[in-house]
Structure 1
């Protein structure tokens, strides 16, 4: 599951009524240290204009209707070892500080994924920061990392119809030799299509990982005119932030890392840790549900796992029609549940969907799964899931040992038993095992000598990035840890006054919360 995707922030579609500004070109010499051979990138001009032409998805079209934002293209090397070679471009969005006389600099945002649009995320945060010091004193900036959204070329693997077919196919529940062979054939085909359908092919896929994205972030820092980076990363965005901190520790002004990815975990341990997070969140949902008059899982939280399994497992053999020729598969039902577990305000929809399933209807669960997979009402998909896999395959070591895969899958089902399909676990290798280019990172503790104080925010019952990962990251970066007591994925700028006050104070003046600071949820 592309579990970290749920950290993506919803876009805001409001329009301020202001006149769209005319294009303006900004130019200045490189700011801060410039790596050898990269001066033309660090000192490039940027032409800022309206954002509508940058929209590549329904969410982006809605978010970019605002008239108080500007967008531009940033040019970076495809391969930083060959700065004179092929170049690519990144989409960048900016909302200027409302009190420029007191401006601190730029606040660069990444919402996670990997594969989510930073441009859409930044547009969605404007109304949440406009009345506090972040909106008043910072230019709010979001960029689409290489291969994503408005950046060119875009990672592309599956067509819309192929994605629909993939979601309807529950062959991943088949752990027999024939089932494993079928799954691995599909994974090989996916990897091949990514190379075939992404412009620049293997060359592009080789350079879409976090190591290259961190270098892009430093180019952006200079082009924005900031000697040091101020950064807010959610979910996978914490990995991008910690990677930047390791590569450019002395170029950091402030980092807020919310919903941490533990950079020391290998793919198997990360899968199991995430499963444990979703298992805990499901338990919290079950308690909440049992107190509702119409709980689809009954009034006993201890029996909720079996009740969920009894509702969803039959879908493997008997998917439920949901209209337009589509059917709710077991994969989509569980994906819909996972999507709902990211935020408590979706629990009511999950209960509704499970009650519908009792009556052989699946519209709500299918809609939740569509949200997770970023499928629009017109049947078109954003490329987030394609990018998620491509980036993960370049970042993570390949897992090819069937025994290790089987062991991780079995542990995952043990810590998240509501997702146990009742059939033998599969040892099938995923697309990364067949990826056409090598990975560029290995799990390790970041080396960050010279890094100023950072702030990691970790939520006690975060389903996608478990609490301990935040503890570990804060320790690795020798930074501050802020604990949020709640059941959701990420917390900053999401309505909790305690978390917001601490995060804003840190970003504005560098004041980190005291060790052991905790914020209670509602």
Structure 2
């Protein structure tokens, strides 16, 4: 493991919780899909024809925090897929899958992805079952969540950072950050260390979204479904769009919530993301300013300056944060951005900033930061940060140092509350520049897809992570319907926060009826 000096970064995010189960062969079920997956010689038959068996979820939870979800009546199993679809007789990967059986007259399986990239779809199956409990969805569908290759309970899993490095805020990635001094040597060491911990360069190069879409089609077949019914949020909308592009005739229905714009470059999306966070920070500051004891002051126009006065000193002088840990600039800004995903978290952010201001302690901001990376009470982290880096490196265009410096300067300008005050010229590298393989997604993707049934895209007007207009673009790209939701949060369809959304999603998934074009919901 290489040694790192203290750097500054913000929270990672794309844009939104064993016992091995035997897998056996069954009759010839799905060889026609192989031409769509890149082969036509029958080499994928054993994967498409496998029977996915479910049993106890004991031993599947990546962290102690997530163990609460891996209990009855949920069942778990593992799906075998090729590590490289161009070499189906080579090494394989195992995909963790969780299921909650339908409670009534079953239509089929509803496959879920929570976003990230790097989020656990297995945990999401449990979370979504609570959010949708008052709908008919749980009566008519098996809720099925899977951990994409490299993520969580799937093996091999991406492993770049130790728990101790994460505790110190040294799990540095650049998918979202506005700050941080990087060198070419560091990016090489990062790729080498990730390869060593994850099972080799072939594993690092295998976890892109197109391979995950292929895995989803194998999962569809193993679940016994002729066509896929899918609900993805945030990065999960990218997975859905890529699957729709690759297997349009295998889609029954898709709910894509919190859309990633399939026409945008990474740089464009990162800028929009930071604009969204700054907007939400300003709205939070305005709400806070009505109180005389607001730690950001009573003048919303000065809130960013006040916040910077509080957090920039943490670059050189971190403050105690409990359990022997210290809160630095990266965890402080990461904690705030984590809370900004949902407006209902604003009071928690304000309380945490007040603790930093009044007590010079960072316990509460650290807790918010930890929640993004899913740190267990026992100090163990899941691998969401690691997988986020690896998947983005396989999907996204890579930038020169000059392009990265320009981008980071622009990010600091559009999102000044996260600006560390550093000069990025000559000190910026793309974390993926030494990653093995080449980006495989391609931009734009999912354009002019033929043979795709009606899809439902959901976009929240005040979504700080995936802008409202991205939903319009995705719906147009797929020829689908977009539902507008008035509110301030990132994603809504699986959260249970809007009965209006719940009812319309259930009507679509069950009866394949999309909302009227002028239909709107609110939070």
Q: Same fold (TM over 0.5)?
A: yes
Pair 1:493-2:494 in alignment: yes
Report the CA distance between 1:185 and its aligned residue.
3.2
Report the CA distance between 1:109 and its aligned residue.
0.2
CA distance, structure 2, for counterparts of residue 375 and residue 118 of structure 1 = 17
Alignment partner, residue 152 of structure 1: 155
Say whether the 8 Å CA contact 2:13–2:116 is kept in structure 1: yes
Q: Give the alignment of 1:125-136 within 5 angstroms.
A: 125-136=128-139
Q: Which runs of 5+ in 1 are unaligned?
A: 12-21
Alignment partner, residue 520 of structure 1: 522
Alignment partner, residue 383 of structure 1: 383
Alpha-carbon distance change, 355 to 97 in structure 1, aligned in 2, over 3 angstroms: same
Say which SS state the counterpart of residue 49 (structure 1) adopts: coil
Alpha-carbon distance change, 24 to 405 in structure 1, aligned in 2, over 3 angstroms: closer
CA distance, structure 2, for counterparts of residue 24 and residue 68 of structure 1 = 21
**370-379 or 466-475, larger mean C-alpha shift:** 370-379
Report the CA distance between 1:214 and its aligned residue.
0.1
Alpha-carbon distance change, 397 to 148 in structure 1, aligned in 2, over 3 angstroms: same
Pair 1:458-2:459 in alignment: yes
Alignment partner, residue 197 of structure 2: 197
**50-59 or 328-337, larger mean C-alpha shift:** 50-59
Alpha-carbon distance change, 333 to 378 in structure 1, aligned in 2, over 3 angstroms: same
Alignment partner, residue 122 of structure 1: 125
CA distance, structure 2, for counterparts of residue 23 and residue 206 of structure 1 = 27
- Listed one character per residue, the Cα deviations across residues 63-86 of structure 1 (whole Å, up to 9, x for unaligned) are 102x11111111111111122222
Report the CA distance between 1:276 and its aligned residue.
0.9
CA distance, structure 2, for counterparts of residue 158 and residue 328 of structure 1 = 18
Report the CA distance between 1:180 and its aligned residue.
4.4
Alignment partner, residue 209 of structure 1: 208
Say whether the 8 Å CA contact 1:4–1:465 is kept in structure 2: no
Q: Which runs of 5+ in 2 are unaligned?
A: 1-9, 35-39
Report the CA distance between 1:166 and its aligned residue.
4.2
CA distance, structure 2, for counterparts of residue 441 and residue 237 of structure 1 = 14
CA distance, structure 2, for counterparts of residue 502 and residue 46 of structure 1 = 31
Report the CA distance between 1:512 and its aligned residue.
0.8
Say which SS state the counterpart of residue 75 (structure 1) adopts: strand
Alignment partner, residue 60 of structure 1: 66
Alpha-carbon distance change, 372 to 62 in structure 1, aligned in 2, over 3 angstroms: same
Pair 1:92-2:92 in alignment: no
Alignment partner, residue 47 of structure 2: 41
Q: Give the alignment of 1:258-297 within 5 angstroms.
A: 258-297=257-296
CA distance, structure 1, for counterparts of residue 169 and residue 297 of structure 2 = 32
CA distance, structure 2, for counterparts of residue 235 and residue 306 of structure 1 = 31
Report the CA distance between 1:154 and its aligned residue.
0.9
Alignment partner, residue 481 of structure 2: 480
Say which SS state the counterpart of residue 443 (structure 1) adopts: coil
TM-score by length of 2: 0.90
Q: Give the alignment of 1:13-412 within 5 angstroms.
A: 27=26, 29-31=28-30, 33-35=32-34, 36=40, 37=42, 38-65=44-71, 67-99=72-104, 102-167=105-170, 179-181=181-183, 184-199=184-199, 201-359=200-358, 360-400=360-400, 402-412=401-411
Report the CA distance between 1:335 and its aligned residue.
0.2
Report the CA distance between 1:43 and its aligned residue.
1.2
CA distance, structure 2, for counterparts of residue 173 and residue 457 of structure 1 = 28
Say which SS state the counterpart of residue 432 (structure 1) adopts: coil
TM-score by length of 1: 0.91
Say which SS state the counterpart of residue 323 (structure 1) adopts: coil
CA distance, structure 1, for counterparts of residue 413 and residue 235 of structure 2 = 25
Say whether the 8 Å CA contact 2:24–2:50 is kept in structure 1: no
**403-412 or 267-276, larger mean C-alpha shift:** 403-412
- Listed one character per residue, the Cα deviations across residues 43-73 of structure 1 (whole Å, up to 9, x for unaligned) are 11222111112122223312102x1111111
Alignment partner, residue 5 of structure 2: none
**461-470 or 164-173, larger mean C-alpha shift:** 164-173
Report the CA distance between 1:168 and its aligned residue.
9.2
Report the CA distance between 1:284 and its aligned residue.
1.5
Say whether the 8 Å CA contact 1:5–1:372 is kept in structure 2: no
Report the CA distance between 1:23 and its aligned residue.
9.3
Report the CA distance between 1:28 and its aligned residue.
5.5
Say which SS state the counterpart of residue 48 (structure 1) adopts: coil
CA distance, structure 2, for counterparts of residue 390 and residue 335 of structure 1 = 20
Alpha-carbon distance change, 144 to 318 in structure 1, aligned in 2, over 3 angstroms: same
Say whether the 8 Å CA contact 1:453–1:480 is kept in structure 2: yes
Report the CA distance between 1:422 and its aligned residue.
2.4
Say whether the 8 Å CA contact 1:28–1:225 is kept in structure 2: no
Say whether the 8 Å CA contact 1:168–1:329 is kept in structure 2: no
CA distance, structure 1, for counterparts of residue 266 and residue 165 of structure 2 = 26
Say which SS state the counterpart of residue 265 (structure 1) adopts: coil
CA distance, structure 2, for counterparts of residue 84 and residue 25 of structure 1 = 17
Alpha-carbon distance change, 329 to 415 in structure 1, aligned in 2, over 3 angstroms: same
CA distance, structure 1, for counterparts of residue 27 and residue 118 of structure 2 = 31
- Listed one character per residue, the Cα deviations across residues 272-313 of structure 1 (whole Å, up to 9, x for unaligned) are 011111111112211221223532111222221111111111
